Structure 1
Amino acid sequence: MKRIIQLAIVGCGWAGDIHMEGLRPLADRFAVRACVDNSSDRRSDFANRYGIPVQAETLAEVLAMQDIDVVVICTPPGLHHPMAVEALKAGKHVICEKPLTSSMELVDDLRKVESRSIGRVMPIFQYRFGNGAERVRRAIASGSTGKHFVTTVEIARTRGAEYYKQAWRGKFATELGGLWVTQAIHIHDLLYSLVGPAVAVTSFSDTRVNPIEVEDCGVACLKMGDGSLVSVGATLGSVKQQTRIRMCFEHVTFERLVDHETQRIADDPWTVLPRSDAVKREIDAAMDIEPSPFSYFGRQYELFHAALMSGTPFPVTLDDARASIELVTALYLSARSGSTVHLPISKDGDGYHGWAPQ
Structure 2
Amino acid sequence: MKNFALIGAAGYIAPRHMRAIKDTGNHLAVAYDINDSVGIIDSISPQSEFFTEFERFQEHAQQLRRNPARALDYVAICSPNYLHHPHITAGLRLGADVICEKPLVPTPELLDELALVERETGKRVFNILQLRHHEAILKLRDKVATAPTDTKFDVELTYITSRGKWYMESWKGDPRKSFGVATNIGVHFYDMLHFIFGKLQRNVVHYSAESKAAGYLEYERARVRWFLSIDANDLPDDIKGKKPTYRSIDISGEQLEFSEGFTDLHTTSYREILAGRGYGLADARHCIETVNVIRTAKIAPPGADAHPYVQRLLA
TM-score interval (norm. to shorter): 0.7 to 0.9
Which of the residues 268, 273, 295 maps onto 1:299? 268
Q: Please state how far the C-alpha of 1:169 moved relative to its aligned partner.
A: 2.2
Q: Where does residue 73 of structure 1 map in the other structure? A: 77
Whichever structure has more helix as a proportion of its residues is: 2
Corresponding letter in the other structure for 1:11: G
Asked whether the 8 Å contact 1:128–1:296 carries over to 2, the reply is no
Structure 1 length normalisation: TM-score? 0.72
Structure 1 stretches lacking a partner, 5+ long: 208-214, 269-293, 308-313, 341-358
CA gap of 1:5–1:154, structure 2 versus 1, over 3 A, is same
Corresponding letter in the other structure for 1:197: K
For 1:21 and 1:256, the matched residues in 2 are separated by: 28
Per-residue CA deviations over 1:203-244 (Å, capped at 9, x if unaligned) read: 12333xxxxxxx211111112135x31111121113441111
Which of the residues 196, 203, 206 maps onto 2:205? 203
Asked whether the 8 Å contact 1:129–1:295 carries over to 2, the reply is no
For 1:324 and 1:303, the matched residues in 2 are separated by: 20
Asked whether the 8 Å contact 1:243–1:257 carries over to 2, the reply is no
Asked whether the 8 Å contact 2:208–2:299 carries over to 1, the reply is no
Structure 2 counterparts to residues 177-216 of structure 1, below 5 A: 177=180, 179-207=181-209, 215-216=210-211
What is the number of equivalent residue pairs in this alignment? 281
CA gap of 1:162–1:315, structure 2 versus 1, over 3 A, is same
Structure 2 counterparts to residues 1-358 of structure 1, below 5 A: 4-12=1-9, 13-27=11-25, 30-39=26-35, 41-43=36-38, 45-50=39-44, 51-56=46-51, 57-58=53-54, 59-64=57-62, 65-66=64-65, 67-143=71-147, 147-166=151-170, 168-177=171-180, 179-207=181-209, 215-226=210-221, 228-238=222-232, 239=240, 240-248=244-252, 254-257=254-257, 263-264=259-260, 267=261, 295-307=264-276, 314-334=277-297, 336=298, 338=300
Corresponding letter in the other structure for 1:125: L
Q: Please state how far the C-alpha of 1:184 moved relative to its aligned partner.
A: 1.3
For 2:146 and 2:47, the matched residues in 1 are separated by: 44
Q: Please state how far the C-alpha of 1:180 moved relative to its aligned partner.
A: 0.8
Percent of pairs with identical residues: 23
Asked whether the 8 Å contact 1:131–1:295 carries over to 2, the reply is no
For 1:121 and 1:332, the matched residues in 2 are separated by: 24
Q: Please state how far the C-alpha of 1:17 moved relative to its aligned partner.
A: 1.3
Instruction: Report the 3-state secondary structure (helix = DSSP H, G, I; strand = E; otherwise coil) of the residue aligned with 1:154.
Output: strand
Pairwise CA RMSD: 2.5
